[in-house]
Structure formats: C-alpha cells, structure tokens
Amino acid sequence: MRDEPYQLTIDSTLDPCPAILGLVWAEGLRPPTPTLEPPAFLQTLISAAQDSGEEYVPLDVRQRVRKVLRYGKYKPSGRGKPASEFLLRAALQDTFPLVNGPVDVNNAISLESGFPGSIFDTARSGRDLRVRRGFPEETYVFNTSGQTIDLQDLLLICRNTESDWHPCGNPVKDAMETKISSETSDVVAVLYMPIDEPIESAQAWLERYAQRLHTHCGAERTGFKIIYP
C-alpha cells in the first residue's frame, strides 16, 4: 500500500459524528463484468450465514449499526434498515445479490462484518468525499428503475462538485450516478462502523477489504485509512 490523496472529511454540521468511517481505495482494477456465480470466498460466507442463521451477525452488532443510522426523522427499520441487514437476509433466503467484482467484495465484507458499506467509481465520485446528514426533501435515484430514497437525516457520503457537496452514498442505498460499471478502473469505498468499534477490529476489516480488491479484482494499488470523529 502507498499513501494516496483520498480524503473523507466530516462536515462541521455533523456534531457528533456517530460512526468510525473506513476509507478504502483501489486502482488499476480489471474491467468489472457481471457476476454469474458467487466466487469461492463469497460462497463460503453465504454458507456460513445459512448454517448460523440470523445470529451470524450477532444482535449486538446489528443494534450498534442501527444506532449509527437512527437520528431525527430517520428510523433504521423496514426499507430503511442498513444494507448489511438486507444482505444477511438475502444470504439466509439464498437470494444474495451478485453484481460485479468490486460490488461483490463490498457486499462480502458487509455480510461478514455486519457493517454497511458503499463503493463508488472514482472517476464519477472523485477522491475528495465528505460525510454529513441529509437535508429535508433531499433525494437521489438508487436503481435503474429510477426509484429514489429520502435522505433527510440519513448519514450521507457526498462528492465534491463545483458548486456543492452532492450526496452519492449512504449505509442503506448508494446513488446510481457513481456506481461501478464495465468501464471502472479505480474505486473508493466507505465502511460505516459503530463509534465504539475497537481500532484493531476496524483496521482488520479495512485490510481485508483492500486485500480482496487486490486478489479478486486485480487491483494494482490499494490503500485505506480510518477517519475518527
């Protein structure tokens, strides 16, 4: 790994920040193609989850993650629950989503850790990101059908545009505009971890994330850092 100018800053309005944020990046990936069968490392995790049931991700972890999201009008339940809970349920129901290499790595880390994650095409998101809360009536499109998610009070990752910080990801659903495509060569990702997660654990998950982007996606360069409030 080497130091790279990737940044994730905490907006001054977000006080206190309820999470430890892990920033992971990878450059020089193989062109992503649609996943037809789960790779071995992902199948192992899915099988382990099916063997263990819902407690594959302990209740304590799920509660701590929901606490990261719970704020103001935002309630982390139903369709608003963390992506990590959707992935656990999908594994148990044998409907785990297969997308492409980088997204599969993100989803595997999320399933295994119980922490939601976002991953972006760096060419679309840029290297300079910021975390803040969603504003009233703020939304973005999250799938090809044009469905939107209400972002008010939700913890958001924003990309730097010429005029403002524009939301592109959150612990529930990421925006279409920065998602991985067949032309993606560099990615940047965020892992949302509870504020009380031990430093050794946080670092281990980020190391695993970066390593899988290298071994599974062919990344030539990877790196990560932890952002504390």
Q: What CATH number labels 7-227?
A: 3.50.40.10
Query: Given this model, what pLDDT does residue 5 score?
Result: 85
Question: Mean pLDDT of all residues in the chain?
Answer: 96
What would the mean pLDDT of 43-61 be, rounded to a whole number? Answer: 98
Q: Which of 173, 215, 217 is nearest to 192 (CA)?
A: 173
pLDDT by residue (tens digit) across 210-223? Answer: 999 999 999 999 99
CA 212, 2, 207, 17: dihedral to nearest 10 degrees? -120
Region 7-24: what's the mean pLDDT? Answer: 95
Evaluate if residue 1 carries a pLDDT over 50: no
At 2 the pLDDT is 46
pTM of the model: 0.96
Domain range list for the chain: 7-227
Report the C-alpha dihedral over residues 83, 89, 91, 97, rounded to 10 degrees: -50
What's the whole-number mean pLDDT along residues 12-41? 96
% of residues, the chain, pLDDT over 90 = 95
Rounded to the nearest 5°, which phi and psi values hold at 3?
-70, 135
pLDDT in tens, 153-190: 999 999 999 889 999 999 999 999 999 999 999 999 99
